[in-house]
Chains A and B, each alone.
Chain A
Amino acid sequence: MSAPATGAAADLLSGDAEEPLLRVRDLTVGFRTEDGPVSAVDHVSFDARAGELLAVVGESGCGKSVAAMALSGLLARNATVSGSVRLGGRELVGASPDQLRAVRGKEIAYIFQEPMTSLNPVFTVGRQVAEVLRVHEGMSRTQALDRAVELLDLVGIPHPRERLRQYPHQLSGGLRQRVMIAMAVACDPRVLVADEPTTALDVTVQAGILDVLRDLRDRLGAAIVLITHDLGVVADVADRVMVMYAGRVVERSEVDELFARPRHHYTVGLLGAVPSARVSGGEQRLREIPGLVPTLEQQPDACTFAARCPAADERCRSQEPPLAPAPQSSHEVACWHPAGTRPPGDRAPGDRAPGVAREESG
């Protein structure tokens, strides 16, 4: 029996205690485009454990979706993926198309951001839910439709039997997203990737969807990877958080710990001026950090946040900080000058208000 990781951090990098359900190591994704190569994900490592909700946060363009799609080989042909994705001990990077197809929808299921366009407009809801059951569970048409009714009921859709015969355009956005969830959980997947599942929805509808996700984690014991840039959502439902910036993981932590002691200046920026602002249940959206997420041709040997960071110095611009246990806290951060810590004889630049990035000369 292995004890639950005391410092999740140490456990993660040393590896071997007992293999977690989903074990991602050095996942790296690049794209060949007409304008040359693009590096979207750089050496990302994380674990997802059964019954746990891992949130992935970061601004738009940080590589969250690309990393999620890379897990089961869903990326377009112009992508090159390296590293390792192990699901229950099986390697998925480099697996054959047939092997990947057997995993998708069955062991790793997805919910996407756009409920309005993610369902096929020309097929009934029932057919689309039943389809996944027929493919993976070998059910007959009627069996699959009966099960679809139960699934729609499970995700809180009223009158499931009537809904089954309807087409996506007859459903509201919230209902469509519930259909997506029903489809995703149809085969009891071990990993459920929800890529900004509530971003396109009304606040009131959001809460319902989050309840469904929480319920699925508790009831089905699935590992849920929730991609979001809504920190209110993170505080609400996540167990652990991983912060991404420009394709890299810059901070990783238990959720309470992250909100209490953010160490990366980017995380501090995301949380707003007051680092200890533990969200009070209400909505707290991502605050603007001056500057943009860079689109990188290749990953530099430097901190990619340096150009926007209030604490950046020469070292940040010439040496990549490794993801390592942060001082005076129990989580990991990739930063030479973590916020909220005071190395002796050094002014803590990170204690200044974030967002006022030092002007770069030239």
Chain B
Amino acid sequence: MGRYLLSRLGQSLVTLLLATVVVFAGVRALPGDPARALAGEENNPAQVAAIRAKYGLDDAVWVQYWRYLTHSLTGDFGTSVRTNIPVRSLLAGALPVTMELSLLALTVAALIGVLTGVLAAVRRGRPAEWLANGFALLGLSVPNFWLGLMAILWLSVAWSIFPASGHVPFLEDPAANLAHMALPALVLGTGLAAVIMRQTRSSMLDALSTDYVRTARAKGLRERTVVGIHALRNSLIVVVTIVGLQLGALISGAVVTERIFALPGFGKLTVDSVFQRDYPVIQGVVLVTATAYIVINLLVDLLYSLIDPRIRVRGDVA
């Protein structure tokens, strides 16, 4: 287990380093000169030169990269060239919103997806399965933005169950925070719930026809135990893998969902900074997103090895 953890951790660090290179190079490959953009209309060469000097844009590329890397590692992402607010503060404000949204969506999706998936497998060929399958099909085919708009129209505007948009920090007022987050999380989680449901259903069907489930029944265990422990634990191995693969979609879905519900998260920050060619902010946003992605994948892998002892003991997984 220890060795597995170490090698997996090493892999993640290398990936992260590569991510910094890509982010750094990517931003510089964008068309347009930031110094000139900053100088504005006048385009006074002296002013442009001053700006270049101020942001170190005259240095050799690798010097710039090294500075960027060391600063990033200490959490210093520079200041926004538009607002002069430290990028770190911008990120710190946006990160909790997006994290909360994604976690809530993931929780909602896992709960709904696993429950309905198990139900569909156990009640195979009965109305409950058709209902669950229909739900999954809808969840997969309805785009987020449409679902979000409908949710706002009906649940917020027509019936006033949830607030339509905006955000209240959790620490300020937890109840209001959750009320604002409920709809976006539901909307963002629906697609993932459908994916999880379908995967759970099919791997539960596989598990229920295995020899070890037959053994569990022959031992005189309750059907609850047979399904909920012996079959489900094995099915979850596949489900966790699928969820891991879907997290990218969840993060990009969060961007769209934040726009719809006007949440001040990473999505808003990203879109704003790209439109304003605010390089330090873009770099910070992308780097943090990449880091989050790598960390989540690491967690998924660890979870995977917790569920499946064959990986834990063998200690070498690609």
On A, residues with C-beta under 8 Å from B are: 72, 74, 97, 101-106, 109-110, 112, 114, 117-124, 131-132, 135-136, 167, 169-170, 180, 183
Contact of B212 among A72, A109, A120 (CB under 8 A): A120
Instruction: Give the docked Cα–Cα distance between A131 and B230 (Å).
Output: 11
Residue of A whose beta carbon sits closest to that of B231? A120
Which residues from B are CB-within-8-Å of A120? 212, 215-216, 230, 233-234
On B, residues with C-beta under 8 Å from A are: 210-212, 214-223, 230, 233-234, 237, 307-310, 313
Residue of A whose beta carbon sits closest to that of B221? A135
Distance (Å) between the CB of B124 and the closest chain A CB? 9
Which residues from A are CB-within-8-Å of B234? 120-122
Could you write out 28 A-B pairs with CB less than 8 Å apart? A101-B221, A101-B222, A102-B220, A103-B220, A104-B218, A104-B219, A112-B211, A112-B218, A117-B212, A118-B214, A118-B215, A119-B212, A120-B215, A120-B230, A121-B212, A121-B234, A122-B237, A122-B307, A122-B308, A124-B309, A131-B219, A132-B219, A132-B221, A135-B220, A136-B220, A167-B309, A167-B310, A169-B310
Which residues from A are CB-within-8-Å of B308? 121-122
Which residues from B are CB-within-8-Å of A101? 220-222
Which residues from B are CB-within-8-Å of A112? 211, 214-215, 218
Flag if B307 contacts A109 (CB, 8 Å): no
Contact of B218 among A74, A114, A124, A169 (CB under 8 A): A74
Flag if A104 contacts B310 (CB, 8 Å): no
Distance (Å) between the CB of A4 and the closest chain B CB? 31
Distance (Å) between the CB of B306 and the closest chain A CB? 10
Instruction: Give the docked Cα–Cα distance between A240 and B212 (Å).
Output: 30
Contact of A132 among B220, B223, B309 (CB under 8 A): B220
Residue of B whose beta carbon sits closest to that of A133? B219
Flag if B211 contacts A118 (CB, 8 Å): yes
Residue of A whose beta carbon sits closest to that of B233? A122
Which residues from A are CB-within-8-Å of B220? 101-106, 132, 135-136
Instruction: Give the docked Cα–Cα distance between A136 and B308 (Å).
Output: 27
Flag if B211 contacts A104 (CB, 8 Å): no
With most chain A CB atoms within 10 A of its CB, the pick from B217, B223, B233, B237 is B217
Contact of A74 among B210, B217, B233 (CB under 8 A): B217
Which residues from A are CB-within-8-Å of B237? 122
Distance (Å) between the CB of A98 and the closest chain B CB? 9
Which residues from B are CB-within-8-Å of A131? 219, 221
Instruction: Give the docked Cα–Cα distance between A32 and B316 (Å).
Output: 45
Distance (Å) between the CB of A140 and the closest chain B CB? 17
Flag if A105 contacts B218 (CB, 8 Å): yes
Contact of A170 among B230, B307, B313 (CB under 8 A): B313
Residue of A whose beta carbon sits closest to that of B219? A105
Flag if A135 contacts B309 (CB, 8 Å): no
- In order of increasing CB-CB distance, the 5 nearest A-B pairs are A105-B220, A104-B220, A105-B219, A117-B211, A120-B212
Which residues from B are CB-within-8-Å of A74? 214, 217-218
Instruction: Give the docked Cα–Cα distance between A26 and B204 (Å).
Output: 35
Contact of A114 among B211, B310, B313 (CB under 8 A): B211
Instruction: Give the docked Cα–Cα distance between A79 and B307 (Å).
Output: 34
Residue of A whose beta carbon sits closest to that of B210? A117
Flag if A109 contacts B218 (CB, 8 Å): yes
Which residues from B are CB-within-8-Å of A135? 219-222
Instruction: Give the docked Cα–Cα distance between A167 and B311 (Å).
Output: 11
Instruction: Give the docked Cα–Cα distance between A121 and B307 (Å).
Output: 10
